[in-house]
């Protein structure tokens, strides 16, 4: 079958570069303003309203900001779990009890991350979550998420599946990062919803 004339689908690496380039042009004010709007949208989610435990993450750089959301969840009495990157790119988990419970950790030449400074719960700690908030660079009309390529959250999703745990999976993005299609591989799993500063979109996952 001939594919002449059909445009090639961009690969994940190319798309990651493109989305990161757009994010790199955001100002600190842009990030701060969208973080407040993002928190407002996310807090309207019924899944978060009834959640007792939420696995989340601390945004860094020009990622959609999460701290306002984390602090509001904690003020509501929600048990918030944050990841700590392990040497093999898997994730351990610990409790978030406010900004003073975070440690700034640099992993090799990568960007420094803010991780829980207290007791660690082990990689299986995430299986207790009612909602898992996922970072990403884009999501498509099927709910397929484009991550940064480290594979950490692929491991999280596989661990949840093995444990027969079924939290709501929600990715936090900017409005322009909801696209028609991103490349997906057999092991990729769709999310249930995406929250952006202006909207919530849900996906019908099987």
Instruction: Output the known binding site for ATP.
Output: 12-16, 145-153
Binding region: 12-16, 58, 63, 145-153
| CA dihedral for 110, 113, 119, 121, sign (positive or negative) | negative
- What are the DSSP calls for 146-192, one per residue? E--SS-HHHHHHHHHHHTT---EEEEE--GGGB-S-----TT----S
What Cα–Cα distance (Å) separates residue 62 from each residue in 20, 32, 155?
Answer: 9, 10, 24
Answer yes or no: are the C-beta atoms of 184 and 203 closer than 8 Å: no
Q: 177 Cβ partners below 8 Å, 6+ apart?
A: 19, 136, 137, 138, 139, 196
The backbone region for 53, taken as left when phi is positive above 0, alpha when psi lies in -120 to 50, beta otherwise, is beta
Which whole-number Å values give the CA distances from 40 to 73, 108, 151, 158, 195, in the listed order? 11, 35, 29, 30, 10
Binding site for substrate, by residue number, is 58, 63
């Amino acid at each position: 079958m001939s594919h002449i004339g059909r445009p090639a689908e961009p690969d994940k690496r190319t798309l990651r570069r493109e989305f990161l380039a757009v994010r790199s042009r955001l100002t600190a004010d842009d990030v701060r303003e969208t973080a407040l709007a993002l928190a407002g949208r996310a807090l309207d989610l019924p899944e978060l309203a009834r959640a007792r435990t939420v696995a989340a993450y601390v945004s860094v750089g020009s990622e959609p900001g999460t701290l306002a959301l984390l602090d509001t969840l904690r003020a509501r009495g929600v048990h918030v779990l944050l990841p700590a990157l392990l040497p093999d790119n898997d994730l351990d988990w610990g409790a978030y009890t406010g900004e003073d419970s975070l440690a700034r950790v640099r992993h090799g030449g990568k960007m420094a991350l803010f991780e829980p400074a207290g007791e660690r719960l082990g990689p299986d700690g995430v299986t207790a979550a009612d909602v898992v908030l996922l970072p990403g660079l884009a999501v498509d009309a099927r709910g397929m998420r484009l991550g940064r390529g480290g594979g950490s959250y692929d491991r999280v999703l596989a661990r949840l599946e093995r444990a027969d745990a079924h939290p709501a999976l929600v990715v936090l993005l900017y409005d322009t990062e909801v696209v028609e299609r991103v490349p997906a591989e057999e092991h990729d799993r769709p999310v249930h919803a995406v929250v952006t500063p202006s909207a919530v979109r849900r996906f019908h996952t099987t």
